[in-house]
Amino acid sequence: MNQPSDFIIVAAVLISIGIYGIVVKRNALRLIISIELIANAVNLVIVAFSRMLPNSQGQVFVLFSIAISAAEVAVGLGIMIIAYRFYKDIDVTEYKNLKN
Q: Name the DSSP class of 94.
A: G
CB of 94 to other proteins, least distance (A): 9
Q: How far is the CB of 76 from other proteins (least distance, A)?
A: 5
Smallest gap from Cβ 99 to other proteins, in A, equals 3
Q: How far apart are CA 71 and CA 82, in angstroms?
A: 17
Within 8 A by CB and 6+ apart from 55, the residues are 49
